Structure formats: C-alpha cells, structure tokens
Structure 1
Amino acid sequence: MIINQREFCVNGLSYTVRSAIVTDAQALSEIRVQIDGETENLDREPGEAFIDTPGFEQIIKTDTENTRNLFLIAAVNDKIVGFSRCEGNPLKRFSHKVEFGICVLKDYWGYGIGKNLLTESISWADSNGIKKIMLNGVLETNDKAIELYKKLGFEIEGILKKDKVLSDGKYYNTIVMGRFNE
C-alpha cells in the first residue's frame, strides 16, 4: 500500500517519511546490513538473512500491491536512514492484524524517526480496518523502544524467555507487544 509523504523536523533535523519505491532497493539492501551491525536490538547479525537488490525490489512491489502491507522509509536529503514494514497474513483468521518491524541508523537515533515511522504505520492501519499491530520480539533491554510502544498504545502480551543469545554469550528475553484498535 502507498501513503502520502510526510515531512518532519525534529531537533533540527528535517526528514521525509514515505512509501518505499523500487528505486530504493539497492540502498535498502546496503542500509539493512549496516543497521544490523550497529545494534543488538534486532534479530540479525550483519549479513545474516541478506536481501539483495532484486529481493528488495520484489518486497517493495508486493507491499505496494497488497492492501495489508506497508513499507515505509525515512530519508534525510534523499538518503535513506531508516525503514519500517507492516506485513499482513493472507490467512482469513489473521486478516485483522499485521506484524511490524522498524530499524534506524544509529547516527539518526534521537530525532523521532522511529516514532514517526510507527505513528504513520498506526495511522495507516487504523484507517484501513486493521485491528491489531504486533511486534514480535522486542529485546528486554531496549527500554526506549518499549516505552515508545507503550506510549503509542501497545501492551505487553507475553515474554519469550531466553529467546536470544547476544555477543556477550548471555541469553535475553524478548517481549511480544500488540496494539488493538477497537
């Protein structure tokens, strides 16, 4: 699905949130590997589950055509600095919900990019009859993300114990969160 482009200015940084387009594919392939190397809050090590340019082109085409999917990017001066996806399930019993994921380059943390990607996704979901947005696996130590999700109406639905092992060799819980719009 496609949304209208929005402009934001937070802490002196101007950026755009818009739907991904096919010409974003190469940059998305590169930025995803970079972001995976900047934080352990995400599921992947750098280069794991690599998606090449044609892979992103296909995801963007599918998400653009599917009314239950949304692929957004955040750009500063036409440079992609973050992205998010909502992906629906084709099964009828799950057609009321989407799964949400988000990532932002570390140099751009603190500018509300994640919040605005999420806010735009919530607005899209609410206006398209999607009743539930789910986040599968927020790392328990990612306090800022958990507080943001709670502030935007998400609730903790469960804890997956010892779900991830990080570079320190320790196991960490992940938190399943959801937002239901009645």
Structure 2
Amino acid sequence: MVVEEKRIECKNINWILRCPTKYDAMELSKLRVKIDGETENLDRESGEGLLTPEDFEELIYEDSIDEKHMFLVAEVEGKIVGFTRCEGSKLSRFRHKAEFGICISKEYWGYGIGKVMIENILMWADTAGIKKISLSVVQTNKKAIHLYKKYGFVEEGVLINDRIHKDGNYYNTVMMGRILDK
C-alpha cells in the first residue's frame, strides 16, 4: 500500500514521512546495518540477516501493491533516518493480523519520529481491515514498551531468556499486540 507523503515539524526538526521507492533501496540497506549496530534493542547485530539493495527493492515493490502491507520511511534533509514496516499475513487463518517493526537511527531518537510513525501505521491498519497488530520488544526497552502501551498495545506474553546480548547475558522478549475492536 502506498500513502501520500507528509511533511512533519516536531521538536525542532522538519522531516518527511513517505513510502520508499526503489531508489531508496541502497540507502535502506546501509541504514539497516548502521541501526542494527547502534542498539541492543533490535533482533540483529550489525551485518546479520543482511538485506541487500535488491532485497529492499523487492520489499518496496511487494509492499506497494499489497493492501495488507505498509512500509514508511522518515527522511530528514534528504536522508532516510528511520523506517517502519507492517506486514500482513497471506494465510487465511491469520489474514486479520499484521506484524510491526520500527527502527530509527540513534541520532534521531527523542524527536518524536517513532511516535508519528506508529500513529500513521495504526491509522492505516484501522482502515485496511487489520484487526490485530503484533510486535516483539526486548524487555529492557522500557521507553518503547511504554510508547506501545500508550497506543493500545498490551503485553501478551514473555519469552524467557529469548536472546543473548554482547554482554553475555540473556534477556526476555515481550510479545505485544493491539486489537481493533471494530
């Protein structure tokens, strides 16, 4: 699904929320590796589960034609600084559901970009017939958990010792979901 570009001003920055095009594929591939190396909050370490520019081109195309998929990027001064994807299921029993993920370059944390991205994903989902959005978040990422709860997500379960970080310690993963009652 493709939506109209939005210009946003918040917390002293102007940025654009838009769907990516195939011309963004190279930048998205590099940005994903960069962001993965900036935080332990994501599932991958830098360079793991690499998505090539060709992989991103395919994702961008598939997401643009599938009414149950949404891919958005945040662009500041011509540079993509974050992105979010919501991917619906093609399986009949799960066609009412979608999986959601978001990542923002660390230098742009605290500017409200994640909040705006979540709001736009949820507005789209509510009109696209998606009744449930699921996500997972490391239990130590309290800011993200608080933000998700603010938007109606609830904790559905915890996967114990689900991940191991560079410090050698195990961490739990919180499974969260938002159900549209309509």
Secondary structure of the corresponding residue to residue 99 of structure 2: strand
* 1:76 Cα offset (Å): 0.3
* 1:142 Cα offset (Å): 0.3
Amino acid across the alignment from 2:37: G
In 1, distance between residues paired with 2:97 and 2:116?
A: 20
| Counterpart for residue 172 of structure 1 | 171
Secondary structure of the corresponding residue to residue 121 of structure 2: helix
Task: Report whether the alignment pairs 1:3 with 2:11.
Answer: no
| Counterpart for residue 80 of structure 1 | 80
Specify every segment of 5 or more residues in structure 2 that has no aligned partner in the other structure, as ranges. none
How big is the alpha-carbon RMSD for the aligned residues of Structure 1 and Structure 2?
0.7
Secondary structure of the corresponding residue to residue 2 of structure 2: coil
| Counterpart for residue 24 of structure 1 | 24
Task: Report whether the alignment pairs 1:95 with 2:111.
Answer: no
* 1:115 Cα offset (Å): 1.1
Secondary structure of the corresponding residue to residue 38 of structure 1: coil
Amino acid across the alignment from 2:88: G
Instruction: Give runs of aligned pairs for residues 1-182 of structure 1, distance below 5 A.
Output: 1-135=1-135, 137-182=136-181
In 2, distance between residues paired with 1:6 and 1:119?
A: 13
Secondary structure of the corresponding residue to residue 58 of structure 2: helix
- Tell me how many residue pairs correspond in the alignment: 181
In 2, distance between residues paired with 1:127 and 1:5?
A: 18
In 1, distance between residues paired with 2:4 and 2:142?
A: 30
Specify every segment of 5 or more residues in structure 1 that has no aligned partner in the other structure, as ranges. none
TM-score normalized with structure 1 length: 0.98
